[in-house]
Structure 1
Amino acid sequence: MGTNTDRSRDRSRRAAALRGARTAAALALLATGALVLDVGGPRGAAPAAGAPHQVPLAAQQAQSGQSGQSEQSGQQDRSEQTGQAGSCDLYRSVPPSTEDGPAVKAVKAKRSLVVGIDLNSYRWGSRNPNTGQVEGFDIDLARAIGTAIMGDPEKVVLKAVPTADRVKFIQEGRVDIIVRTMSITCERLEQVAFSRPYFTTSQRVLVPRSSPAKTLDEALNGATACAASGSSAQEELKTRPVKKLVTVENHLDCLVLMQLGKVDATMTDDGLAASQAAQDQTVRVIDGEVRPGVMGIAMLKTSTDLTARVNQVLNDYYANGSWRRAYDTWLKPYLQDDADRHWPTPR
């Protein structure tokens, strides 16, 4: 009994230490004018906040049937996911429409559109520490969609959703749509419906500035690498010869673990990688990118008319210049690309 009690206390102390480290890192970001907080958004059952889940890569590959998968096979899978070679078309969605069908009418009947968002992504979705307002590229888009559908910005409810729970929140009806740097993949298309793509993306790697790595392979080979659970980055890292893959609930936790020296590298979307490097000058983005893809807005598969309405709003949002203005405001200073490079055009 005494031994079990001691172990329980040790686990509690370790969990408390990690929570404290995450808080300290967040305060450090505040000092640089770029605080990003999770302010108590809904969470599923999980270990203590910020606690990473570590599984040796070989075990993960065995569980998913990927043991021994060649790099060539991995590249083919990635090509198929971009719609270039086969298994699904990531650009396919229902035609845009302004009509109110059953799903839209149901949303209007409850007098609010609940939008799942991120509160951990600087310049995409985070709370401004100076104003207290939630802001970012995805937040502007979420509000534009909600206002267009509901006719009143006060009827748009923003709800924080962890990376790993995005599909679950849609399927359980806890949100109506997800606007949260969510890549469209063949697997996710089997689970939820997506709008037309609204942003092109790829996976990039962050490392500490002290790291000697110059290429993506140098940064990952034999490394302890981190990714958000349920993310495209996690799937990509399963194909890489990393020593250990650490998964966390939200990608910002990877940055905290890197600051603590617990991981050697982090993989995430290119826009998120740029935002983390902007937040913390002690990390840098490695040259090279993998797994090109597109982001979309997720909804229930049965909400066809809602998907059509969202597609109409996206078309209007781009045509009237709002998409470009949002890009120039939130992302261009850090991505340093012209906006047209990131607006998806069906191939």
Structure 2
Amino acid sequence: MPDKTIAAKIIFLLSSCLLLSLTGCSLHKSVQPSWENGVLRVGVTPNYPCLIHKAAGTGVISGFEAEAAALLAKRLHSRLQFVELEWGEQIPALERKEIDIVMSAMSITEMRKIRVAFSEPYLTISQMALTTKEGEEKFPSVQAILASRTAIGVEKGTTGDVFVQRYCPTAEPFFFSSPDAAVQALRDKRIELYIDDGPILGAYAAANEDEGLVLLKTPLTKEELAWAVRRDDQSLLKKVNFALETWKEDGTLEKLLKKWLPAEN
């Protein structure tokens, strides 16, 4: 066999192997864990007592959202995978397809609806204010809060943050990365009010009653909590809404809410 023919065959075989190798790599990279291939990746920020929380000692994630996520994964015949994220990273991670769904006490807002598709709501809540016994006398009404010239703590990127910036123009907002940090600042008297979701503040008020923390009972807003998926993932959205409707009809949703948020039901 001529040398040129042998060389040509060798080059052809090497090229074929390289092409197959590259194709294999491409296929490997394109296959990501997702609910469609057996892994439901749920984005959570586990700093919300009762709804989604991580135990300091064991690292176990629990709460209403955690149980609902487990039920949803079972319906989808998928393995549940919690993906812990900072609050501000939830929607970007969803857009980057690093998670399939956000189940972390997210309020429906017009701005968020531009970027994500929300399920039907599962709970209606209000923004409320946590303060001290001295603050309880100082802020007897919503008007007193709105006219405040004092330091108000919020968790950055939340609807509490938006509320303070929009409706408390004379207040001095202090931004915190977690509810724990905001509550500690309230204990240390570095802020006079902490505004956040009613259920989370109710849990902190109950846990810190001996330290003089008080939940002001007047609601500041009315909001609906829901789960978020990518806008182009209508298939998952339909399945989530169908599951939610089923749980509403058979009492599963009410049972879970009463278990984790008895004061709200």
Which TM-score band (shorter chain)? 0.7 to 0.9
Residue identity opposite 2:101 in structure 1: I
TM-score, normalised with respect to structure 1: 0.61
Alignment of 1:137-152 (within 5 A): 137-149=64-76, 151-152=77-78
Where 2:222 maps in the other structure, the secondary structure is: strand
Where 1:297 maps in the other structure, the secondary structure is: strand
Where 1:296 maps in the other structure, the secondary structure is: strand
How far apart, in 2, do the equivalents of 1:181 and 1:156 lie?
18
Residue 76 of structure 1 aligns with which residue?
Answer: none
Alignment of 1:43-192 (within 5 A): 107-109=35-37, 111-128=38-55, 133-149=60-76, 151-152=77-78, 155-192=79-116
Residue identity opposite 2:62 in structure 1: E
Match of 1:227 among 127, 145, 154: 154
Pairwise CA distance, 1:237: 0.5
Pairwise CA distance, 1:197: 0.8
Residue 287 of structure 1 aligns with which residue?
Answer: 217
Pairwise CA distance, 1:269: 1.1
Pairwise CA distance, 1:130: 7.0
How far apart, in 1, do the equivalents of 2:56 and 2:157 lie?
28
Residue 124 of structure 2 aligns with which residue?
Answer: 200
Residue identity opposite 2:208 in structure 1: D
How far apart, in 2, do the equivalents of 1:165 and 1:132 lie?
20
Which runs of 5 or more structure 1 residues have no equivalent in the other structure? 1-104, 339-347
How far apart, in 1, do the equivalents of 2:123 and 2:180 lie?
21
2:211 is the alignment partner of 1:311: no
Pairwise CA distance, 1:182: 0.4
Match of 1:297 among 224, 227, 235: 227
Relative to its length, the structure with more strand (as a share) is 2
Pairwise CA distance, 1:286: 0.7
Q: Size of the alignment, in residue pairs?
A: 227
**Could you list the per-position Cα deviations for residues 262-299 of structure 1 after superposition, in whole angstroms to 9, with x for gaps in the alignment?**
21111111111112212322311112112212011011
Residue identity opposite 2:94 in structure 1: I
Of the two, which has the highest radius of gyration?
2
How far apart, in 2, do the equivalents of 1:280 and 1:174 lie?
37
How far apart, in 1, do the equivalents of 2:246 and 2:161 lie?
33
Residue 257 of structure 2 aligns with which residue?
Answer: 327
Residue 143 of structure 2 aligns with which residue?
Answer: 217
Residues 127, 216 of structure 1: CA spacing in aligned structure 2 closer, same or farther, 3 A cutoff? Answer: same
Residues 174, 250 of structure 1: CA spacing in aligned structure 2 closer, same or farther, 3 A cutoff? Answer: farther
Residue 10 of structure 2 aligns with which residue?
Answer: none
Residue identity opposite 1:190 in structure 2: I
Which runs of 5 or more structure 2 residues have no equivalent in the other structure? 1-32
Residues 127, 106 of structure 1: CA spacing in aligned structure 2 closer, same or farther, 3 A cutoff? Answer: closer
How far apart, in 2, do the equivalents of 1:326 and 1:229 lie?
28
Pairwise CA distance, 1:166: 2.0
**Could you list the per-position Cα deviations for residues 99-132 of structure 1 after superposition, in whole angstroms to 9, with x for gaps in the alignment?**
xxxxxx95332x3111012321111111345765
Residues 250, 130 of structure 1: CA spacing in aligned structure 2 closer, same or farther, 3 A cutoff? Answer: closer
TM-score, normalised with respect to structure 2: 0.79
**Could you list the per-position Cα deviations for residues 136-186 of structure 1 after superposition, in whole angstroms to 9, with x for gaps in the alignment?**
11111121112211x25xx10112222222211211222110011100011
CA contact (8 A) 1:125 1:138 kept: yes
CA contact (8 A) 1:233 1:267 kept: yes
How far apart, in 2, do the equivalents of 1:121 and 1:262 lie?
22
Residue identity opposite 1:136 in structure 2: G
CA contact (8 A) 1:201 1:271 kept: yes
Q: Answer with 295-304 or 167-176: which moved more.
A: 167-176
Residue 34 of structure 1 aligns with which residue?
Answer: none
How far apart, in 1, do the equivalents of 2:174 and 2:258 lie?
33
How far apart, in 2, do the equivalents of 1:228 and 1:161 lie?
14
CA contact (8 A) 1:126 1:135 kept: yes
Pairwise CA distance, 1:301: 0.7
Q: Answer with 111-120 or 130-139: which moved more.
A: 130-139
Where 1:275 maps in the other structure, the secondary structure is: helix
